[in-house]
Amino acid sequence: DGGITQSPKYLFRKEGQNVTLSCEQNLNHDAMYWYRQDPGQGLRLIYYSQIVNDFQKGDIAEGYSVSREKKESFPLTVTSAQKNPTAFYLCASSMGGRGRQPQHFGDGTRLSIL
Amino acid sequence: GENVEQHPSTLSVQEGDSAVIKCTYSDSASNYFPWYKQELGKRPQLIIDIRSNVGEKKDQRIAVTLNKTAKHFSLHITETQPEDSAVYFCAADNQAGTALIFGKGTTLSVSS
């Protein structure tokens, strides 16, 4: 969907480095989500946020951090504590702050280790 | 914890055949069940969804059925075409209704 923009498309991380993935939406959605996708693993939830200044851990939050200072933005930081960060990262958003609404995805960021 | 199982992991059909993908979920409080299609290197896109107050929903060649008693739901694609080839994901909402739990995906290959 053109309403969700993820950047960069490709990102490389060095050992011991933190990197931040950007996610911006102009759909006026309340809820935003971050997923990690590995081959054969489906989409695993990292963090999600129902409203500004509030967020919850998903199933695999260790080694990641987020912030939600603005409704439109939900950046994800992959910290040096995440020992296996190589994956495809997808951001999504939905209306109403409830999971019972369709989620719309961005184009993703592919993160690799240098 | 909450879990969604999806089968099969791979499915190969001939063009024109039907394809069926099945999912089971663990949380009886789940009420929303979307299906996503993801082409190689692209974003997942919603193709159909169903809520717990209906048993079946159709959209052209795609249909989804839901059995809340057995806690399973299925995607049916009729008259498959090569452009249906993709990875399909099912999902169910969590108990609080605040997030989706995804299955591991089914890679569908339609050969002409």
Residue range A36-56, pLDDT digits in tens: 999 888 899 999 999 999 999
Mean pLDDT of A26-38: 95
Task: Give the CA distances from residue B109 to residues B17, B26, B79, B86, in Å, rounded to whole numbers and listed in that order.
Answer: 11, 28, 13, 7
User: CB within 8 A of A65, min separation 6: which ones?
Assistant: A76, A77, A79
- Interface A-B, measured as beta-carbon pairs within 8 A, has a size of 62
Nearest chain A CA: its distance from B14 CA (Å) = 23
Whether residue B31 lies within 8 A of chain A, CB to CB, comes out as yes
Check CB contact under 8 Å for B34 and A44.
no
A40, A99, A106 member nearest B104 (Cβ) = A40
pLDDT at A96: 67
Q: What's the Rg (C-alpha) of chain A? A: 13
Q: For A6-20, how does the pLDDT look when each residue is reduced to its tens digit (9 = 90+)?
A: 999 999 988 889 999
Task: Check pLDDT > 60 for residue A1.
Answer: no
The three-state (H, E, C) secondary structure of A12-70, written as one string: EECCCCCEEEEEEECCCCCEEEEEEEECCCEEEEEEEEEECCEEEECCCCCCEEECCCE
Token pair listed for B112 = 């002409």
Edge-to-edge order in the sheet of strand A4-7: A4-7, A19-25, A76-78, A64-66
Mean pLDDT of B9-36: 96
Q: For A59-87, how does the pLDDT look when each residue is reduced to its tens digit (9 = 90+)?
A: 999 999 999 999 999 999 999 989 899 99
Q: For B65-104, how does the pLDDT look when each residue is reduced to its tens digit (9 = 90+)?
A: 999 999 999 999 999 999 999 999 999 998 888 889 999 9
Check CB contact under 8 Å for B99 and A100.
no
Whether residue A44 lies within 8 A of chain B, CB to CB, comes out as yes
